[in-house]
Amino acid sequence: MADSSFDIVSKVDRQEVDNAVNQAAKEVSQRYDFRGVDAEIEFKGETVTMKANSDERVLAILDVLQSKLVKRGVSLKALDLGDKQPKASGKIYILAGTLREGLSQEIAKKITKIIRDEGPKGVKAQIQGDEVRVSSKSRDNLQEVISLLKGKDLDAALQFVNYR
């Protein structure tokens, strides 16, 4: 019998992120507490930029954005905000976050180590570019690996694809 396998990837649905940013922008433009504070949010390329006239307001915009992302099924781990502190630029405070896609080499190595150390016997994990291929003769072992990784707190939004 041939080996069964699946891939572990970290991808972001850009359309969902764009929709979440548009919803957050609409809410920010309509909310009373954001009136007259030059509050805005935009999504260009890989970057989500939030601006307002105080750092508390920027963090409030971030909170609105995060709630919209969660409602749309986008993991908050996909948005890399650095140190989460808005930076002053004249009278305006700016917080920019980038979207993270693909598994970094460091996270891929962590995943393979977890599978090797804590996973069932006979499961093989290989790093292939920015994803990890996991294979085994037993589909039950693959299910165990998926549940093991879902229980771990890794710094990436993981999806399990190409299950065959």
> For residue 63, is pLDDT > 90?
yes
Sheet of 124-128, strands arranged across: 124-128, 131-136, 4-9, 159-161
Residue 140 burial (CB < 10 Å; 0-12/13-18/19+)? exposed
Q: What is the pLDDT of residues 88-109, one digit of tens each?
A: 888 899 999 898 888 888 888 9
Decide if 50 contacts 95 (C-beta within 8 A): yes
Q: What sections of the chain are H helices per DSSP?
A: 14-30, 55-71, 105-118, 139-151
CB 93 within 8 A of CB 55: yes
Would you say domain 14-99 falls under CATH 3.30.450.20? no
pTM: 0.81
SS3 100: coil
Q: Is the pLDDT of residue 61 over 70?
A: yes
- The domains of the chain are located at 4-11+103-161, 14-99
pLDDT at 1: 53
Q: In CATH, which of 3.30.300.130, 3.30.70.860, 3.40.50.2020, 3.40.50.20 is domain 4-11+103-161? A: 3.30.70.860
In this prediction, what percent of the chain has a pLDDT beyond 70? 99
